[in-house]
Amino acid sequence: MLEIIKSRRSIRCFKKQAVESTVLHTIIGAGTWAPSGLNNQPWKFIIIRSRDMREKLAGLTKYGSIICDAPVCIAVLLDSSLSYDHTKDVQAIGACIQNMLLQTHALGLGAVWLGEILRNGAAVRALLKVPDTMEFMALIALGYPAEENAVSERKKTEEVILCEL
């Protein structure tokens, strides 16, 4: 487990190779096994393969080239009709996305969580025709990696433990 967690890197360059639907379903399925408050499972997903749609989305973030390069993107939505506590729902969505990133990596694919595009969230919602009851939370760009998993650093564990009581 720790090996998968530590070797996962954000992947921003992809091969042209399409991602099979079965693989996408496995990745989304992993997301749905995340914990959520009262097990309310507040997530919904839109799969975006269309080049035209990806190019339009690309215009809404400075990381647009990643969206054009990736063969597929997944928009992650929070379904407010299932909500009982917004903070907890957002936390659950984060857990869901991390599950998806780890499953993607474990399958030999790569992905990046794109959040900068949230500054144009309203435009994304309009473009993807997101229902009024749903909130756009993140875009995941994914595909078969065309780059090695880079080396990354994290703060030392001792540094992030505030105290032990």
Ligand X SMILES: Cc1cc2nc3c(=O)[nH]c(=O)nc-3n(C[C@H](O)[C@H](O)[C@H](O)COP(=O)(O)O)c2cc1C
- Which residues form the interface with ligand X (CB under 6 A)? 9-10, 12, 63, 112-116, 152
CB 112 within 8 A of CB 37: no
CB-based contact 96:76 (threshold 8 Å):
yes
Max CA-CA distance within the chain? 55
CB of 62 to ligand X, least distance (A): 8
Task: Output 24 or 60, the one with its CB closest to ligand X.
Answer: 60
CB nearer to ligand X: pick between 45 and 113: 113
Comparison of 38 and 122: residue with beta carbon closer to ligand X: 122
CA–CA dist 108, 101 (Å, integer): 11
Instruction: Give least dist CB 42 to ligand X, A.
Output: 17
| Cα R_g (the chain), whole angstroms | 16
Quote the least distance from Cβ 154 to ligand X, whole Å: 8
Q: Which residue has the tokens 């487990």?
A: 1
Q: Which helix (H) or strand (E) holds 64?
A: helix 64-69
Q: How far is the CB of 92 from ligand X (least distance, A)?
A: 14
Closest CB 12 distance from ligand X, rounded Å = 6
Nearer to ligand X, 160 or 163 (CB): 160
Q: Are 68 and 55 in contact (CB under 8 A)?
A: yes
**Closer CB to ligand X, residue 153 or residue 158?**
153
Q: In this chain, which residue has its C-beta nearest to ligand X?
A: 115
Closest CA to 111 of 153, 67, 61: 67
